Amino acid sequence: MISLSQGRLQDRRPLSIIDIGSNSIRLVVYEGIARSPTTLFNEKMLAGLGRGLVTTGKLDPDGVTRAMEEFRRFRALSEQAGAEKLYVIATAAAREAENGADFIHRAEEILGTEIRVLSGREEAYYSALGVISGFHLADGVAGDLGGGSLELVDVRAEAVGEGITLPLGGLRLQDMAKSSLSAAAKITREEIARADLLQGGEGRPFYAVGGTWRNLARLHMITTNYPLAVMHHYEMNIANSVGFLQKVARGDIEKIKGIEGVSKARRALLPYGAIVLLEIIQAMRPSQIVVSALGVREGFLYSLLTEEDRRIDPLISASEELALLRARSVTHARELVDWTGEALAAFDLVETVEEQRYRQAACLLADIGWRAHPEYRGTQSANIIAHASFIGVDHPGRLFLALVNAFRNDGVFNDSIASELKALATPRYVERARLLAAMMRVVYLLTASMPDVMPRLKWEKRDDGVLVLVIPADLAGLYGERPVGRLAQLAKISGKKLEMTVA
């Protein structure tokens, strides 16, 4: 019997997914089926099954041998992690190779389960679901670049449009072009011209999925000195990324800053990934390139959810889970969501829908660092939040959440958090984070971080315009010098006249 740590959610049942791609094979063990999935274990190998497929029509023999050995290990790892179910999906190389059926049969015997070989349409569909699951109200074109194919599909919120599969995966393109980058550019241009759906993407984001594009984005981060090393929802501005992509597309990569961090097997395919992305930019004219860390695997996992669970906000779900695992009281965190909403209304401050989501998440995350040393709670919590595996939040939103926690723990006028990170959060988010943290600093002193008090603390507006925070008479003992001082800080930040009283 597996003894679960209290750092695990006790109601989750682990499951595994093995994704057999044309270049890589990956095992991911998830904590359970959830709107915001958490990875228990993740391992990949670059088998290169699709190498030479264009000329031989068969899977790479060495890749097949290595894959079979790895399947034994992947099955053992899945069982060791306690996965109750193993799903296996295979994509372009396995479905197109002459010996693909034999490969699948042998793999099924080793893995002890049926392998689902996805059609091009299914691969595009699950890739689109991956993007839908990872972004709040995604609206653009999703593109998943694998080793054997490129899937393109239009996504709008929950709607998945008609997709198209093109033979532009990195390994295949390299083979078709006989390793000539100029020939690869010509082939790509002709194939991309078939993708009429790109024309409907003008002015909307292009969601880039796949390991080659993630590595390109990582290099772009490094060359531009981007301060937040989080891949999901990293946005590449078209104007400042085309020159970088053109340089990579010329094969001029060995001197690019950070290239040593990319494996040699991946490195050789970067120029082909850049060529494809440049042609997409030319044909689609997107507003920006947005990197998605979620693709076919996560889309398949998302498809296992109930309709009700799909409608859950993944950011709020993940934040609540973290509160459940780390906060002194998840009930107190939920009360904080309601109380700060009431406070903003009393202050006559309006939130956008996105700001409301982010405030809710910030409240749920407000107490995750309480076990740290007081001098480091803010820094530690901000670092955890900024780099957490959250989905459904952009990078400015991440920094807003981190800033709220830093200000709440280290003081609302403490600006020691890195200025380059604050710049990502936008001035409005910085000031909103300061205001929200000031509210938290008042109410935490009145509740001892425990539930049932906050719902009884009400704002009342007097005729002279003063806002009064009213403490019920039976809780009069909570009134004191420190909370009054914190209220004065809130008054200074909000520009409101505030008082505290017992009634």
Alpha-carbon span 335 to 84, nearest angstrom: 36
Alpha-carbon span 473 to 294, nearest angstrom: 52
Residue 96 lies in a domain: yes
Alpha-carbon span 207 to 140, nearest angstrom: 7
Residue 48 lies in a domain: yes
Residue 53, token pair as written in the block:
């497929």
Q: What is the DSSP letter of 472?
A: P
Residues 416 and 271 in one domain: no
Residue 190 lies in a domain: yes
Amino acid 391: pLDDT? 97
Q: Can you give the pLDDT of all 503 residues of the chain as single tens digits?
A: 455 677 888 889 999 999 999 999 999 999 999 999 999 999 999 999 999 999 999 999 999 999 999 999 999 999 999 999 999 999 989 999 999 999 999 999 999 999 999 999 999 999 999 999 999 999 999 999 999 999 999 999 999 998 999 999 999 999 999 999 999 999 999 999 999 999 999 999 999 999 999 999 999 999 999 999 999 999 999 999 999 999 999 998 988 989 998 888 789 999 999 999 999 999 999 999 999 999 999 999 999 999 999 999 999 999 999 999 999 999 999 999 999 999 999 999 999 999 999 999 999 999 999 999 999 999 999 999 999 999 999 999 999 999 999 999 999 988 777 677 788 999 999 999 999 999 999 999 999 999 999 999 999 999 999 999 999 999 999 999 999 999 999 999 999 999 999 99
Residues 77 and 20 in one domain: yes
Residues 405 and 454 in one domain: yes
Amino acid 217 reads A
Amino acid 2: pLDDT? 53
Residues 271 and 408 in one domain: no
Which residue's entry shows tokens 């076919």? 296
Q: List, in order, residues 6 or more apart from 89 with CB less than 8 Å away.
A: 17, 18, 19, 20, 115, 116, 117, 118, 126, 296, 297, 300
Can you give the residue range of the structural domain that contains 134? 121-299
Amino acid 88 reads V
For the chain, how big is the Rg over CA atoms in Å? 26
Residue 2 lies in a domain: no
Amino acid 6: pLDDT? 79
Give, in order, the Cα–Cα distances in Å from 356 to each of 331, 352, 363, 432: 19, 6, 11, 11
Amino acid 51: pLDDT? 93
Give, in order, the Cα–Cα distances in Å from 184 to each of 237, 289, 435: 24, 21, 53
Residues 137 and 112 in one domain: no
Amino acid 418: pLDDT? 64
Element (H, E) at 30: strand 25-30
Residue 142 lies in a domain: yes
> Which residue among 95, 117, 139 closes a domain?
117
Q: What is the DSSP letter of 158?
A: T
Residues 164 and 197 in one domain: yes
Residue 434 lies in a domain: yes
Helices (H) then strands (E): counts for the chain = 21, 14
Comparing CA positions, the residue from 111, 93, 101, 80 lying closest to residue 18 is 111
Residue 463 lies in a domain: yes
Residues 263 and 130 in one domain: yes
Amino acid 375 reads E
Identify the CATH number of the domain in which residue 125 sits.
3.30.420.150
Residue 39 pairs in a beta bridge with 30
Q: Are 146 and 169 in contact (CB under 8 A)?
A: yes
Amino acid 1: pLDDT? 43
Other beta carbons within 10 angstroms of residue 438's beta carbon come to 23
Q: Are 256 and 219 in contact (CB under 8 A)?
A: yes
For residue 87, report the phi and psi dihedrals to the nearest 5 degrees: -105, 140
Amino acid 209: pLDDT? 97
For residue 253, report the phi and psi dihedrals to the nearest 5 degrees: -115, -20
Q: What is the 3-state secondary structure (H, E, C) of 332-362?
A: HHHHHHHHHHHHHHHCCCCCCHHHHHHHHHH
Residue 4, token pair as written in the block:
């679960």
DSSP 254-266: TTSTTGGGS-HHH
Q: List, in order, residues 6 or more apart from 277 with CB less than 8 Å away.
A: 208, 213, 216, 245, 289
Identify the CATH number of the domain in which residue 86 sits.
3.30.420.40
For the chain, the domain total comes to 3
Alpha-carbon span 467 to 348, nearest angstrom: 11
Burial class (CB in 10 A: 0-12, 13-18, 19+), 495: exposed
> Which residue among 117, 145, 167 closes a domain?
117
pTM above 0.85, yes or no: yes
